[in-house]
Amino acid sequence: MKIVPNFLAFRISSKGMSIQKKKMELITENIANTSTTKTKDGTPYKRKFLAVAQKEGLQSLIPASFNTLKLKGGGKFHLEAPQPGRLQEKEDLVSQVKQDSSEGELVYMPDHPDANEDGYVQMPNVNVVTEMVDMIAASRSYEANLTAFNASKQIAKSSLEI
């Protein structure tokens, strides 16, 4: 569903909440697999994280006088701006789930079924303390986006009562 530019604040807050929710899901998966020494491919679990990047030009301000472009080498190009003097949405954030390629620590457990010939087990590269800190940060970010969404909703509601 495309949200019209007048409700850009809702779209931004919604995208923020969506990203933080995905981060919390990945953190939960990481914590659940802190002891998984053998996955389907026979290797220890690798920590997953969400890489978020901004595509170029999240927004641009279209000047009210924007209607003609001058080209180098001569000539003009006339353009009708959709809403002059307004913020124009462009592509926004992109996110991708990635795996941390670092190795987990070797722990001496000679009786473990996944122990090597020296009795060491390759553990997952998940640090529970780091994951908990990341979970708290993601939760706080989600709450901040929710607060911004509710404030935008209240402003929109108040403007309808005028």
- Percent of the chain at pLDDT exceeding 90: 57
> pLDDT at position 85, please?
47
| Number of domains within the chain | 1
| Model confidence at 160: pLDDT above 90 | no
pLDDT-based confidence at 95, cuts 50/70/90?
confident
Structural domain contains residue 91? no
| Model confidence at 121: pLDDT above 80 | yes
pLDDT in tens, 60-79: 445 555 555 555 566 655 55
- Domain of residue 35: give its range: 5-48+102-161
Structural domain contains residue 75? no
| Model confidence at 149: pLDDT above 90 | yes
Structural domain contains residue 155? yes
The span from the CA of 53 to the CA of 35, in Å, is: 31
| Model confidence at 125: pLDDT above 80 | yes
Give the global pTM.
0.72
Structural domain contains residue 53? no
Structure tokens at 152: 């935008």
Structural domain contains residue 78? no
Structural domain contains residue 38? yes
Q: Which of 26, 16, 22 is nearest to 130 (CA)?
A: 26
| Model confidence at 142: pLDDT above 60 | yes
pLDDT in tens, 33-46: 999 999 999 999 99
> pLDDT at position 8, please?
81
